[in-house]
Chains A and B, each alone.
Chain A
Amino acid sequence: MAEVSPSEWTGERIAFERRVLDVFARVLDVASEEQQAKIETECAHDVMLRAAVVRLMDSLPDFDADSSIFAHSATDFVAPIVRGLSNAREVDVTDAPDIAAALLPRYVLNGELGRGGHAIVYRAHDSSLNRGVAIKVMRRERASEESSRRFTQEIAIAARLQHPFIVPLLESGTIGGRLYFVMPIIDGESLRKRLDREGPLDVASALAIANDIAEALDHAHAQHVVHRDVKPQNMLLRHGHASLTDFGIALALQVDDDGDGRMTAPGTSIGTPFYMSPEQASGSRDLDRRTDVYALACVCFEMMTGVVPYAGTSIAVVQAKHLQAPIPDARALRPTLPDGVSRVLMRGLAKAPADRFPTAGEFVAALKHRNNA
């Protein structure tokens, strides 16, 4: 850009601009019909000065034009920028230097992997074990002591989960009141990406993925850990198997809302409503394994049909459908699907937890059984 920075303005230029503004002030002080004459008097022989003053006069009628920044209040003018930043990326000044410092000496931050509505993920090197890790740092600070305590208990259990199809949580803690989670970096793609690319999967592939995820869930459920956010984004595909990631993290988002056992605004913490159980959609915090079974059924429905069971234009609409809409028949979307498979899916999607399969493993076993029948 050719612009001369203010510090490079010469004293001469500054003096000239002052003269222009002084003359302009005197012109403004006379009645409008006398202003033209005033300009001529003031700028008698100075063509440059006269031109500059006239330019200022000419811009007066433009103040209220919508294209003028001054036709708006500064905050109104900037608010869309702020909302754009909020939607797209972190708005608060990224305190990566603080985070980097807080994670030392074990973890050396060396880049950013991505950003989402709730977290920023950094790439780091674990110097103790000499391997790459991903560190997910929540954007919001922890809410209450109570929610913090509850979260700490559950995350401690989640961190102990050891299963081939569970992406381990290596460590968690807080930095300046914000939670962070350390996880291994995994090469592979998420089921979300695969579905986006391929659409519905063949039934055998879908069942293989469902089987791995069900094993992971059953293992966690046996230790009373509920995932709460089972969705294709959290399923990673690699070496022919699927792994579930982000155990315990959904709770971190949820308990942040408040500490009294109900989410203030159901769904606001969770990014997507498409896999949310009716009990979650209605704001209950008292979620058990059957919430995860429901979400897994939604994922299976999507793997087999290419669409989620309940779509909608807003979170509220989708939540209402989880609560009230008739359970869809997957066969309507994929007529070649065995009728038994569709009925098992429908039972997985039952509104009342008691009507669903009691475990993820039983749900997937029934799917496989009906597919072979």
Chain B
Amino acid sequence: MMIGDAESEVPMREVELNALFVTVYDDLRRVAHNQLRAEPDGHTLDTTSLVNEAWLRLTSQRVDFTADRDHFFSIAATAMRRILVDYARRHRALKRPSSRVAISLTDLEGSEAYDQPLATGIDDRADMVVALDDALQQLALIDARLVAVVEQRFFSGRTEAETASILGVTTRTVARDWVRARAWLANRLDAHAERN
């Protein structure tokens, strides 16, 4: 998985990066989970403020923390991607028919919901998210910056200007990369859909 800019002047050691990623992942997942689970009330989950708040928590808790803010936002966007993709993968994993043992112990609260078919479209959504993640892994081999742009724009909900600032490129470059990445990914997703 791509994390930040490998050629930055003061590269963090890989161990530190992994530890930071895990910290950020856990933190964001906890906060995002409750908001994602809630019934929609017309508000979109604001990933950007979620990430900004995570940054504040981290810097106030860890004085030894050395990564800069932009670096953190790169990691956080990757973490958001991972969090959301993990939901889709888990949905697909659970969807597989399993041999359910009849529970004579006690019926479980909420088991009514367990037996109900999930709303239509969810399976498709999960498939698309997983296909997108696969395509992003391929794209990372071709142009890591395009992946970073997708992570900021799509998974982290950043504007073009914010993305440009975080990645240290011009807004124009972000705009162009965002178009290129989406076009390339859309093609991969179409190819994926045709195969299945």
> Does B100 touch A at the CB level, under 8 Å?
yes
A79/B157 in contact, CB under 8 A: no
Contact A75 B45 (CB under 8 A): yes
- Say if the beta carbon of A150 comes within 8 Å of chain B: no
Chain B 66-103 per-residue mask, 1 if CB under 8 angstroms from chain A, else 0: 00000000000000110010011011001000001111
Task: Say yes or no: A81-B88 contact (C-beta < 8 A), given A6-B134, A21-B142.
Answer: yes
A28 CB contacts on chain B under 8 angstroms: 176, 179-180
Contact A21/B184 with A69-B132, A88-B118 known, Cβ cut-off 8 Å: yes
A82 contacts B104, CB within 8 Å?
no
A70-B154 in contact given A3-B192, A121-B105 (Cβ < 8 Å): yes
Residue A118 contacts which of B87, B88, B109 (CB distance < 8 angstroms)? B109
How far, in whole Å, are A110 and B123 apart by their CA atoms in the complex? 30
Contact mask B157-194 → A, CB, 8 Å, 1/0?
10000000000000000001001101111110110100
Interface residues on B, range: 35 or more
Q: How far is the CA of A363 from the CA of B184 in the complex (A)?
A: 72
A6-B138, A14-B142 known; A91 vs B176 contact (CB < 8 Å): no
Pick from B104, B122, B184, B190: contact of A236, CB below 8 A: B104
Query: Which of B104, B129, B143 lies in contact with A186, CB distance below 8 A?
Result: B104
Q: How far is the CB of B136 from chain A (nearest CB, A)?
A: 9
In the complex, the answer to whether A79 meets B45 with C-beta atoms within 8 Å is yes
Residues of A within 8 A of B125 (CB): 77-78, 80-81
Does A233 lie within 8 Å of B195, measured CB to CB? no
Cβ–Cβ contact A17 & B142, under 8 A: yes
Residues of A within 8 A of B143 (CB): 18, 21
Check A81 against B91 for contact (C-beta < 8 Å).
Answer: yes
Contact indicator B100/A114 (Cβ below 8 Å) = yes
Given the complex, which residues of A lie within 8 Å of B37, measured CB to CB? 82-83, 86, 91
B8 lies within 8 A of chain A by Cβ: no
Segment touching B, from A53-61, A157-165, A199-207, A256-264? A53-61
The verdict on A59 contacting B105 (CB below 8 Å), with A21-B143, A75-B45, A78-B129 known, is: no
| Cross-chain contact B141 with A9 (CB below 8 angstroms) | yes
Chain B residues with CB under 8 Å of A236's CB are 104-106
The smallest C-beta distance from A30 to any residue of chain B, in angstroms, reads 12
Q: How close is B188's CB to chain A, nearest CB, in angstroms? A: 10
Kindly list chain B residues whose C-beta atoms are within 8 Å of the C-beta of A29: 176
Contact of B176 with A74 in the complex, beta carbons under 8 Å: no
Q: In the complex the two chains form, is A121's CB within 8 Å of B103's CB?
A: yes
What residues of chain A lie closer than 8 Å to B32, measured between beta carbons? 75
Shortest CB distance B89–A (Å): 10
B3 lies within 8 A of chain A by Cβ: no
Closest residue of B by beta carbon distance from A114:
B103
Q: Which residue of B lies closest to A233 (CB)?
A: B107
Judge if A224 is at the interface, Cβ distance under 8 Å: no
A75 touches B87 (CB 8 A): no
B24 at the interface (CB under 8 A from A): no
Residues of B within 8 A of A113 (CB): 101, 103, 105
> Cβ of B63 < 8 Å from any Cβ of A?
no
Identity of the chain B residue whose Cβ is nearest the Cβ of A189 in the assembled complex: B104
Say yes or no for A188: interface residue by CB 8 A criterion. yes
Tell me, yes or no, whether A284 is within 8 Å of chain B by CB: no
- Whether the Cβ atoms of A185 and B105 lie closer than 8 Å is yes
Q: Which residue of B lies closest to A9 (CB)?
A: B141
Contact of A75 among B84, B179, B180 (CB under 8 A): B84
* Contact B134 A3, beta carbon cutoff 8 Å: yes
**Besides the known contacts A79-B40, A79-B45, A189-B104, 12 further A-B residue pairs in the complex with CB atoms under 8 A apart:** A14-B141, A24-B184, A29-B176, A56-B180, A60-B183, A69-B128, A80-B122, A88-B118, A118-B109, A121-B106, A136-B105, A234-B106
5 A-B pairs whose Cβ atoms sit less than 8 Å apart in the complex: A56-B180, A82-B87, A87-B116, A119-B108, A192-B107
Which residues of B line the A interface, CB within 8 A? 32-33, 36-37, 39-40, 44-45, 47, 80-81, 84, 87-88, 90-91, 94, 100-111, 113-114, 116, 118-119, 121-122, 125-126, 128-129, 132, 134, 137-138, 140-143, 146, 154-155, 157, 176, 179-180, 182-187, 189-190, 192, 195-196
Closest 10 pairs (CB-CB, A-B): A117-B110, A116-B108, A271-B109, A233-B107, A75-B45, A82-B36, A56-B183, A114-B103, A59-B186, A87-B113
Please give the residue numbers on chain A whose beta carbons come within 8 Å of chain B beta carbons, in ascending order. Answer: 1-3, 6, 9, 14, 17-18, 20-21, 24-25, 28-29, 55-57, 59-60, 62-63, 68-70, 73-89, 91-93, 111, 113-119, 121, 123, 134, 136, 183, 185-190, 192-193, 233-234, 236, 245-246, 253, 270-272
